[in-house]
Structure 1
Amino acid sequence: MLYAGVPENDVRAKNLIALERAKRFPKPHRWIYFLTIWFIEWLSPLLFLFRPTKSGKLNNVLFSILIKKLKENRWRLVRMSAFFAFVPLIETLFDEDIDKTKYPEHPLKLLLRDQKFENKDTFDFIIIGTGAGGAPIADQLTKNGYTVAIVEKGGLIDPKPAPQMIEKYYVGQGLTMSMTGGMALVLAGSTIGGTTAINSGTCLRPLNSCLKIWDQDLGTDFSSGTLDPYIEKIELQTSVCVPPKTIQSKSAELFVKGLNKLGFTQSYILPRNIGNCKGSGRCCFGCPMGIKQSTDYAFLPSALKNGAKLFANTQATKILENKMGIKVELQDSNGVKSIMANKLIISCGALYTPDLIRRNKLGSQFKHVGKNMKIHPATKVFAYFPDHYHGPHGIPQGIGFRPSKIPRITLEGIHTPKSMVGQILSAGGDAFNWWMERIDYLSSFGLMIQDRGTGSVREVNSFPWINYKLHPSDVTDIQSGLILIAEAFFAAGAEKVLLPFSGEQQKEFSSVEEMKKFDWNSIKGENLMISGFHPMGTAGMGKIVDVNQKLIGSDRIYISDASVLPNSPGVNPQITIMALSLRLANHLTKKEPHVIN
């Protein structure tokens, strides 16, 4: 703490806050954290500095060297230890002021409070999950007169500082990761609204080239425009629009300036589900103004007004299917209860749907769920512009660009709040402090790739464990994307860039010429600091469900979330998932009588 510039009088209080935060980590990470602290405090000075003393007793110079050796160590487990040790400490360095009096009350708050269940335990449909796959179909079914019960493990989102939002509303507190061939954080939401409540708000139609691949593999006709009516309806209900340039972030402005100087003029403003965006820069931590039309705003209020019952903060633990219908056992703070329905729709997302199927042995393919997982690996570049104050204003993900020479790569804007920057900076030691001291003058831009590799997910003690490794060709494409972002920043006047490399590799560059001299062949998948967005495919069409999303081997269970996607739609998949949700609703309402046995 002293090394990071915290006043000596505040160190003890900050350390206690960090310790309490670590105690709230998910169980496996909590155990790892305290082992890590013991390792760093007692063993690391001896192993890396040959000093038989506690790390807390080192002077600033030696401590800086130790931190650098830990963060940039050649061994992945040592780097992981440093990451876990510093996460709660860095969270305490920056205090975010969240004035809740400025923010409107969530429209679901009153509806949830006034729900009358009247001991009702039998419905036409039970839907587990309220994200992009669950909420639209719930809304559509209630509009068609069906009785619907919606089950959601999370609660209603409430604006808080970014670290607290991640702790409370992200799957696994944002610590869900794969350690195979590197460290990739896989991010998803766990709240009413699912990931739609904490994503960037970007709304893109699936690429027709990707839909053609789906058609070839499945015998469907998605590429002929069959999804278009559902997409148009989704775009209307979620207020998708192209925002004005005036609310773009400083990072986006500088990146576009650099692209134009390089001769690339094809950047575009990303459409969003935020019709009257104020540019508060907090989309990924819940829109504080309540303007982003995530499913908790665009679909669930309508569904509840039409009679749907929402069981919030409630987990579906057991599912039984028989000839009479579906029985789902629910658990909340008040205990266990059961509800029944004619049909069940599972919409828990690609990380949790597989284990719910496997654990309850649903359908005939339950042994194969969780495989074929796809993600959009993503990373970012930081750049220092000494003459450009960044600040928090602006759309975090406002600008996009698709480089023609690396067609699987999409460059998209990204902004990280101060309290989160330190956790993802690749620099260690004095270099880490150098970048943090200039945090208000840092711009950043990111990329994501339509991946070639596949992974898997398995739930252990209620925590999703992921096995995923970057494909070598994806590593090459990511390198090309990083070079392009850095070149654009230099063209716009950046003094220095920081690339997302872990290990002993050079990370800081002061010119394009210096980058050209760098040995890019030294960068492997395990050297890239990667986040994995949009997990999908873990209960894919043609493998676990049929083309109408019915669970193979089941008569009454359907899946509606990212897990059914047979492959990447080539873009952020929110619109695609919602369109498939309405398509499923249309399929069910044509077939389902209003009969409950």
Structure 2
Amino acid sequence: MVIVIGTGAGGAIIAMKLAKANIPVTIIERGPYMHSKDAYGTYDMKYYDKRFENENSLDLLKTTCVGGSTIVAAGNGVRVLEDEFREELGIDLSKEYETIEELTGIHQMDDEHIGEGTQKFLDAARECGFDVIRMPKFIRDEDCKPCGKCSFGCPRNAKWSGKDFIDIAIENGAELIENAEVQKILTEDKKVSAVEYVQDGETKTIKTDLVILAAGAIDSAVILQKTGTDAGNKLFFDPFVSVGGYLKDINYNTEVQMNGLAVGKEYILAPHFSSFIAKYIKESNPDVEDKDILSIMVKVQDDMVGSVDIDGNVKKFNTIDDIRRLAQGAAAAGSILEKAGVDATTMTSTVFRGAHPGGTAAIGEVVDKNLKTQIDGLYVGDASVIPVSPGKPPILLILALAERLANHLIEEVF
């Protein structure tokens, strides 16, 4: 029997593919199974924020539920690091990317799903000299009624998430154990022998000789260290800020979020509503409402200066280059917003935040090219294995790597 730990992008597709290949699979998930509209309540950023070195440090956004952070993702499906993986690691993911794009229905949304705020972003960014496209999405146009709640969990379930693949895995015989926190992976003679987890206050053990660890870059690093693997010495989390200002009755807050993309030299820009912008502007303009805000997310690659220790303490430091990239992106965002009609005197920015943690069990350092650790029978299938910060949404890359791992296991191990 195979045990898959975690139900985010990586764990979900591996569980589905193994189950469809008639391989017995048990899935262990720390969070609950729920409708996507309720997923917002499973954000655990405050839990992790308590583990930072001081109270003024960064927020790290992630959720704990079946589907992981895919369930609150904005639905962005972009290829990342494809050339780097092929040229530097000898890993060609082109076929896997094609498979994933078909499985998740990646496409640019139709005109009816491009609102006024998004169109102003696209036009203004183009005028500012950027190469601009509609963001590739894994959102079903026919099911989507724009409401601006993409990152809260879709109320109409119009977006692909890892939960979709978990449902298919269960239909094909996989067992799901929810609300269960894995404590450690037990080994004998450097081989996997069992998984120990806690559910409802009771410690339980399942015997197995093959585990796919896909609990997310933070939790996977902790579990690996408890298993005797040297992980967690590096950490990326794609830092971002949102820059915005006043544009009366633009109503961007009810549009499909991040439905456009402009790529700078060291940053990317996408329209993204943040309620913090209105809150900040209200201090001097009390009549401003959420519907009057047009804002842009600035996301950059970071320098992977961070760590996760065996107790789950997260340390993350901002380098000078991290700040420089964000400043350049924020300046570009301001220029686009002004050209789009935003009142420049009202422009402000959110605090420096992070999402998409990864890199804690990198290929070439903790796992090999087949994502296998030094322990026989233990593989890693999440963002932990990505060796450099992508600076863009990594969901497709995680899915492609997990697709490759699943195929390897089916063809070479079973």
- Contact map agreement 1:177 1:183 (CA 8 A) in 2: no
Aligned to 1:588: 409
2:4–2:213 Cα contact (<8 Å) kept: yes
Show the counterpart of 1:410: 268
Offset at residue 565 of structure 1 (A): 0.7
Q: Shift of the alpha carbon at 1:133?
A: 1.2
Is 1:444 the counterpart of 2:318? The answer is no
Letter in 1 for 2:23: Y
1:286 alignment partner, one of 120, 145, 153:
153
Correspondence 1:259 to 2:128: no
Rounded to whole Å, the distance in 2 between the matches of 1:352 and 1:249 is: 38
Q: Hey, what does 2:383 align to over in structure 1?
A: 562
| In the alignment, structure 1 residue 545 sits paired with structure 2 residue 367 | yes
Q: 2:138 aligns with which of 256, 273, 291?
A: 273
How far is the alpha carbon of 1:319 from its aligned partner?
2.1
> Hey, what does 2:233 align to over in structure 1?
371
Please list, as runs of the form range in 1=range in 2, the aligned pairs for 1:79-478 lying within 5 A after superposition: 124-158=1-35, 165-172=39-46, 175=49, 178=52, 183-211=57-85, 215-216=87-88, 220-222=89-91, 226-262=92-128, 264=129, 266-276=131-141, 277-297=144-164, 299-322=165-188, 325-333=192-200, 335-361=202-228, 366=229, 368-386=230-248, 388-390=249-251, 392-403=253-264, 407-416=265-274, 421-422=275-276, 427=280, 432=283, 434=285, 437-458=288-309, 460=311, 464-478=312-326
Deviation at residue 347 of structure 1 after TM alignment: 0.6
Q: Distance in 1 between matches of 2:103 and 2:37?
A: 27
**Pairwise CA distance, 1:411:** 0.6
Q: Which amino acid aligns with 2:269?
A: L
* 2:342 counterpart of 1:532: no
Percent identity reads: 26
Deviations, residues 104-163 of structure 1 (Å, cap 9, x unaligned): xxxxxxxxxxxxxxxxxxxx20011001110111111112111000000101233568xx
Q: TM-score, normalised by structure 2?
A: 0.91
For 1:142 and 1:177, how far apart are their aligned partners in 2?
36
TM-score for the superposition, normalised by structure 1 = 0.64
Give per-residue Cα distances to partners, 1:438-474, cap 9 Å, x unaligned.
Answer: 33211111110012342112364xxx43221222122
Opposite residue 183 of structure 2, the aligned amino acid is T
Q: Secondary structure at the match of 1:535?
A: coil
What amino acid is aligned across from residue 211 of structure 1 in structure 2? Answer: F
Number of residue equivalences: 410
Q: Counterpart in 2 of 1:500? A: 349
Structure richer in strand, relative to its length: 2
CA 1:536–1:498: 2 relative to 1, 3 Å:
same
Distance 1:426 1:245, change over 3 A: same
1:486 aligns with 2:355: no
For structure 1, which runs of at least 5 residues remain unmatched after alignment? 1-123, 502-528
Aligned pair in 2 of structure 1 residues 154, 379: CA closer, same or farther (>3 Å)?
same
Q: Sort the Cα spacing of 1:174 and 1:294 in 2 relative to 1 into closer, same or farther, 3 A.
A: farther
Contact 1:211 1:569 in 2 (8 A): no
Q: Which has the higher helix share?
A: 1
**1:497 Cα offset (Å):** 3.4
Amino acid at match of 2:182: A
Distance 1:541 1:195 in 2: 22
Structure 1 moving runs of 4+ over 6 Å: none
Structure 1's 559 and 261: CA in aligned 2 closer, same or farther, altered over 3 A? closer
Structure 2: segments with no counterpart, 5+ residues: none
Larger RCO of the pair (alpha carbons < 8 Å, separation 6+): 2
Task: Tell me which structure has the larger Cα radius of gyration.
Answer: 1
